[in-house]
Structure 1
């Protein structure tokens, strides 16, 4: 064993492939623990940032340097104007207004980026009065242009205004939220003033118009006493949040979901499925190969002919056809999709392994030590267990390593084509590539952060398993066959 390990460690290809395999195993085991998102394909985990947000580290490149991250901040009062009195009690700004008086409270954000995907300014207003007040919310961009975003008045006053207003409840908290995605012509004076063809695009246009370039962006809360009695209005500090266009390690997909979460969850599934399926493939191929190679005669002819028959059938079309039949007949409903895929791949991919095991079994069967064991009364099971199997372990382990990337490629191909694990279930590397391909036309720079990680990982993992298996075969097979 020490000699085998020493020979393996003297091979650079083995060391490199082992390092790559350890890297992916760590990603599969530890990766899902490093993200709070358990299934990014669930709608509840959409929009953790804007769709097609680039990875945060990509902002080192000039084309992405002004992309904003997700942000959350509380804006305090920067100035006030009007003839009302304004004070601060530690939690709220308190505005005292006599009849017909007004006050304008300006909250400023020092914006350092290009426009976000979306934003939200929110506050809470509590008007104490026996009559009525009007609360207007304006946004002011870096060029000084003012957008009349929202207006709130008590219901009995709404008919007096020729622009949209929302009801304001007196003597009780009123949550106020400004977001491009929720503004509409029925409640926003700004949206109502736009041509009809532009109103539906306000969710895309307003972030650009209000926060399109770095500089101070202000939110003005204007309070007007429209009654005949004094009013006291409590206004909470403005809270700002945005869905940025730079997020996390691997950015986001077309739904604003974390690509990193998709990648690590997909890595775990692909490795688990491929290893288990490879064990199944090698197990079936080993049994058939040992029986055919050792027994020979008609048994070998039948098993070899059966294997040749399956080899003549195109693999991928048969996989797709079988899965479709199982889904249509309802069999798939009784078996989980991953188990179904595992069984189909394992049941249709053992033929090459069987041929290789049969070949080496035929070679070992004719060796002198096997003949000696047979002459001493050793039965078939004894000879296979004690002599043949130990001498072909190198080939067996190598086949196991060779079959893992084959399974990954098959499963990823099924997912890519939409016949495997679907986007309504959970992420895999294959359906990540399929979804990225479908969305490529609308993505920014084809969303390389969404395509490259799963695609490159499939290639690296396949190459690593190939060289890992080759090293095992080169070191173990001669060692065992020579009987040293």
Structure 2
């Protein structure tokens, strides 16, 4: 004769060992991927919300400046030179009589374009070299690492001065060419960081079972790299790219302030800061407002990168 308590334990045992997948199926919810799980976590982080709102505002300023001002940023009134903020000009006027509010709004475009283009090119170069070095290893990995060490040894400002001065010495350059030169100089000097991040991620991904299984099934090298390794190694590069974008915007301002980056007639925050250095004592507002927008934008991208890093890293939760 069976004990009722034993029978009850036997009948309820299967219910106690329900798997997570079966539980999700009963609830009608599908298991989330890494990207969807990260997005679900990001939406609940105040740091992400604040930084995303600031970046969205800057993007609106860059691509639709007419939403914020109707003043021509290249229209100058010398009679209003160095005037302070007022109802007619919220940020006042600079040394040439330009409306600072209008130029601050329009100046976001060149700064964002340089930052985004330099980030994309840096990630493209660094990720390609890092994937190849991490997958093949051996002499190719050693060669890539030594080349990266050479670029690591170059001071950023000195290297940018050499690159920009060498290309500009060949003749006059247009505004578009200047922007391209600044983007190229930033990317050439910054790709080793991305290369090392991607190389480390690729080495870790190469040891995973799914890569070994794909190789055993006869998958081609390009398919293994693009379909199996890249999606699982791209997360740390995305974090780096988010933070680097803000750093590259600051780098453009640094080069413009030194006189080797963007210059008039291009309107950017770096150019505005460079123009204000001669009148900072008598018109500090000409430096305050573009510098404040530049600082807030760089800080927003750094905050966004930190939020993305914590969302993609399960150990940080």
Q: Please state which structure has a larger fraction of its residues in strand.
A: 1
1:473 to 306, 309, 313: 309
- 1:16 offset after TM fit, Å? 1.2
Question: 1:274 Cα shift?
Answer: 0.6
Q: Which residue of 183, 200, 203 maps to 1:342?
A: 183
1:284 shift after superposition? 0.5
**Residue by residue, what CA displacement relative to the aligned partner does 1:330-359 show, whole Å, maximum 9, x if unpaired?**
284697211121122222211111111111
1:365 aligned residue (206, 209, 224)? 206
Q: Which runs of 5+ in 1 are unaligned?
A: 58-246, 480-484
The RMSD of aligned alpha carbons is 2.1
Number of aligned residue pairs: 281
Distance of 2:147 and 2:99 partners within structure 1: 47
1:309 is matched with 150
Structure-1 separation of matches of 2:138 and 2:280: 56
- 2 CA distance for matches of 1:385 and 1:333? 38
TM-score normalised according to structure 1 size: 0.55
Aligned position for 1:261: 102
1:284-323 mapped onto 2 (5 Å cutoff): 284-323=125-164
Alignment CA distance shift 1:334-1:267 (3 Å): closer
Q: Which residue is equivalent to 1:433? A: 273
How far off is 1:38 after superposition? 3.9
Instruction: Tell me, in whole angstroms, the C-alpha distance in 2 between the residues paired with 1:434 and 1:405.
Output: 19
Q: Which residue of 2 aligns with 1:270?
A: 111
- CA shift, 1:379, in A, is 2.2
Alpha carbons of structure 1 residues 270 and 32: separation in structure 2 relative to 1, 3 Å: farther
Distance change >3 Å, CA 331–CA 386, structure 1 → 2: farther
Residue pair 2:73, 2:103 contacting (<8 A) in 1 also? yes
Q: Using a 3 Å threshold, how does the CA distance of structure 1 residues 436 and 334 change in structure 2: closer, same or farther?
A: closer
> Is residue 32–residue 261 contact of structure 1 (8 Å, CA) maintained in 2?
no
Aligned equivalents of 1:332 and 1:294: distance in 2?
Answer: 41
Q: Is the 8 A contact 1:285 1:354 kept in 2?
A: yes
Partner Cα separation in structure 2 for residue 434 and residue 334 of structure 1: 17
Q: Which residue matches 1:388?
A: 229
Whole-angstrom distance in 2 between the partners of 1:431 and 1:335: 15
Residues 47, 257 of structure 1: 8 Å contact kept: yes
How far off is 1:31 after superposition?
2.2
Counterparts in 2 of 1:62-211, with a 5 A limit?
none
The aligned residue for residue 56 of structure 1 is 86
Specify the SS of the correspondent of 2:64: helix
| Alpha-carbon separation, structure 2, partners of 1:434 and 1:384 | 45
Residue 53 of structure 1 and its aligned partner are, at CA, apart by 1.6
CA deviations on 1:23-64 (whole Å, 9 max, x unpaired) are 111221222454444442xxxx2217611222225xxxxxxx
